[in-house]
Amino acid sequence: MKTQVYVLYGGKSVEHEISKRTAVAIINALDKEKYDVYSIYISSEGIWGTTGMVKEELKELQEGKSDSAMTPTLSLAKVLQECFSQREECVVIPALHGTHGEDGTIQGLLELMDVPYVGNGILSSAIGIDKAMTKEIFSKVGIPQAEYVFFTLHEWQRHTNRVYDQIERKIGYPCFVKPAKLGSSVGIHRCQNQDELKEAVKDSFTFDQKIVVDKEVIGREMQIAVIGNEDPKCSVAGEYILEKSFMDYNAKYVDGKLIPIIPANIPDSLHQKMQEISQQAFQVLNGSGLMRVDFFVTEENELYVNEVNTFPGFTGHSMFPALWEATNGITYSEIIEKFIDLAIERHQNSRQIQYTRG
């Protein structure tokens, strides 16, 4: 009997469109002789629906028509009953980015359903998406980072001038203002003075209620891809040639002008150090399945971890699969199968936990 694979995509997130691109690539890469593949969409309003089994290659994923009278709760219950009532061997690939997909919420639902799913668990997802919490944990174990501060909307509203003074005193200019819990460079601003800072903070607070401000690091931006559970493996490092001061949303997904360099041109000793730090980051966050670790590398070959991504963009042109192809020749389809195997392995291990006293 074939394993049933359910690919979740869309979601109530500003990264909704990126999720759709990732899902198309994953669905097309899955071996239909080995898996029965189903797509489950989540609209921007949180309405769930399914198009049933996917048997042919897709050019794009549509969300279909949602029942306007259906609430997110009712639509979720309907999809879960329709898709998982038979309880055949199955695995879920939550090809969701950002809020409600990469933050531990969907992972918690799948844990309650007791089905294996690809990627990181509740804790690592919830911490990994929160840049402030990730930085706090990394600081405790000595992972190198740029200077940073973070504050909430409530703190900013009550002590606006104090917040700006703290940023200028500890971070200075130029600095980067970021929503704590978003990816794909949404809501990120480079600020060179207080006027720009004030506008950036206002805009970033439209995407989250917590903001991180980082000191600018002059250096190359590089990435390491990590795959595994208890024994994670690291890819070679790769970098993008930047045409702007930082990779904003359009540079990553619209303009198409970024040039990846894989492997990055760095000394072997530095390469090894990046892999060691990436493995440490993965393990301290209790990672599973996959993770991408992003670095700044200065002219003096100093390393700073910028952030992690617990479910990075995974289109056919994304850095993660390209890094692994350059590392050991593994194909996109083979990586997806590896993710599925790791998900089943983790789920089987979790079933060894005893939930009763005797």
Enumerate the known binding-site residues for Mg(2+). Answer: 294, 307, 309
Q: Which of 43, 66, 124, 318 is catalytic?
A: 318
Give CA–CA dist 91/118, Å, rounded.
Answer: 7
Closest CA to 318 of 37, 21, 11, 60: 21
DSSP state of 117: B
Tell me whether residue 184 is one of the annotated catalytic residues. yes
In a 3-state reduction of DSSP, which class is residue 65? coil
In the sheet with 303-309, reading across from the earlier edge strand, the strands are 259-261, 233-241, 220-228, 289-297, 303-309
Q: Which of 13, 15, 235, 278 is catalytic?
A: 15
Give CA–CA dist 198/328, Å, rounded.
Answer: 46
Q: Which of 39, 125, 184, 288 is catalytic?
A: 184
DSSP string, 175-243: EEEEETT--TTTT-EEESSHHHHHHHHHHHTTT-SEEEEEE---SEEEEEEEEESSS-EEEEEEEEE-S
Tell me whether residue 75 is one of the annotated catalytic residues. no
Binding residue numbers: 294, 307, 309
The amino acid that residue 265 corresponds to is N
Q: Which two tokens stand for residue 134?
A: 């990730």
Give CA–CA dist 340/118, Å, rounded.
Answer: 6
Closest CA to 48 of 88, 11, 91: 11
**Inter-CA distances, 137 with 130, 181, 280, 282, 305, Å:** 11, 15, 12, 12, 12
Which residues form the catalytic set?
15, 184, 318
